[in-house]
Amino acid sequence: MTRPLHCENLPLTDLAEQFGTPLYVYSQNALTKAFSAYTDAFAAQQPLVCYAVKANGNLSILKHFAALGSGFDIVSGGELARVLAAGGDAGKTIFSGVGKSEAEIEFALEAGVLCFNVESLPELDRINAVAARLGKTAPVSLRINPDVDAKTHPYISTGLKANKFGIAYADALDAYRYAASLGRLNIVGIDCHIGSQLIDLSPLQEACERILLLVDQLAAEGIVLQHIDLGGGVGIIYQNENQPDLAGYAAAVQRLFAGRPQTLILEPGRSLVGNAGTLLTKVEFVKHGEEKNFVIVDAAMNDLMRPALYDAYHHIEAVVPKAIPPFTADIVGPICETGDFLGKARTLTCEAGDLLAIRSAGAYAASMASNYNTRNRAAEVLVNGSSVQQIRRRETIEQQLANESACL
């Protein structure tokens, strides 16, 4: 009999039988190795690695990274609550995002976050006002848009003039001067983030060079920074991409940082969790059409939005390949949308009742999941060697309906 695919030491067939499908399966060893890749590559700088919670905010994953010494990059008050619930350190947490509310700023100040990554002058005013009301001083770092093309998908490019993120490079000095004029702000750093899923890391080096020029100009004006945050964005292999040269990027940063006293901060997300996760799904039907074939599975776009949203590729394979003629088909879910596809034109050997593994589903899968078509969100499990823990129970219809009322 063909050996089924495994996660670490456990067969995916056993996990499906125990927990059902669709099912997100994560490898704890893969999470650890991905985090260590950063700490090893950048060892000379001893950086603060702040995991980007938006990639996957499961409490157990956050707790694991916290135990490894990770800080956190958050973009909402809800993500801060997750970090704290998982035992993360607010003092190693950076609050990013373009639209922080007064309530979120107050929550973060009371919790004692490391700093706010500020993206506009009105946000500076709001943080200053909230800090004054609370009798506190708010640590801030300005997110500067270096106008560097990350050469990635337009939806996940964040460093160009046309993007909503950050303060324009040409306006950076004036923005820092304005921040220095506000009485309840403590300027502690500078930040940039040019995009996500970067395979060629040379744009990151270019952004670093432009940011360091600003650091020197600020120092000449008496604004001396404590940290330099180069953001995240390092990609992963989904299909046939080249392996990003993390060591080469780290060596370039080490050269550029030579003699500088500031702490280096990095904000990886996808590259820490993406390839640690698999979405396990069951084939419901194989439908042979006039123009194409379809493999209809019990996972759908509400479980993995990336293909529908970005036309993103995820490798899909049979958990137990069968000795039957292979055929080419679109892998689709049961949602009532033509855009509900998980893969197009894939060659597989499978039949109804078989299991498929959708790879690279550790990032932006569970975190973007929804209840569209009143579907329950899937369970999540974390595998460590030969043991497994359920880290999120499968949602129930009762839980979905609990906050609604049938009023006339």
pLDDT in tens, 23-69: 999 999 999 999 999 999 999 999 999 999 999 999 999 999 999 99
Domains defined for the chain, CATH in brackets? 6-25+274-394 (2.40.37.10), 28-270 (3.20.20.10)
Please classify residue 59 by burial: count the beta carbons closer than 10 Å to its beta carbon, then call 0-12 exposed, 13-18 middle and 19+ buried: middle
In this model, does residue 134 exceed pLDDT 90?
A: yes
pLDDT in tens, 351-367: 999 999 999 999 999 99
- In percent, the amount of the chain with pLDDT more than 90 equals 86
What are the residue ranges of helices labelled H in 185-245? Answer: 202-220
Provide the annotated binding site for substrate: 270, 306, 310, 337, 364
Provide the annotated binding site: 233, 267-270, 306, 310, 337, 364
Provide the annotated binding site for pyridoxal 5'-phosphate: 233, 267-270, 364
Distance from the Cα of residue 227 to its chain's centroid: 22
3-class DSSP state of 117: strand
Measured CA to CA, the distance from residue 118 to residue 99 in angstroms comes to: 10
Average confidence (pLDDT) over 282-300: 95
pLDDT in tens, 113-126: 999 999 999 999 99
Categorize the per-residue pLDDT at 161 as very low, low, confident or very high, splitting at 50, 70 and 90.
low
> From residue 340, how far is each of 28, 72, 279, 284 by CA, in Å?
30, 32, 15, 15
Catalytic residues: 336
pLDDT, residue 164, reads 62
pLDDT, residue 157, reads 45
pLDDT, residue 204, reads 86
Measured CA to CA, the distance from residue 403 to residue 257 in angstroms comes to: 51
List b or e across 158-192, with b for residues whose CB sees 16 or more CB atoms inside 10 angstroms: bbbeebebbbebeebeebbeebeebebbebbbbbb
In this predicted structure, which of 18-27, 159-168, 185-194, 212-221 has the lowest mean pLDDT? 159-168
Contacts of 188 (CB under 8 A, 6+ apart): 114, 115, 139, 140, 141, 225, 226, 227
Query: Which is it for the CA torsion 13, 18, 19, 21, positive or negative?
Result: positive
Mean pLDDT (the chain, rounded): 94
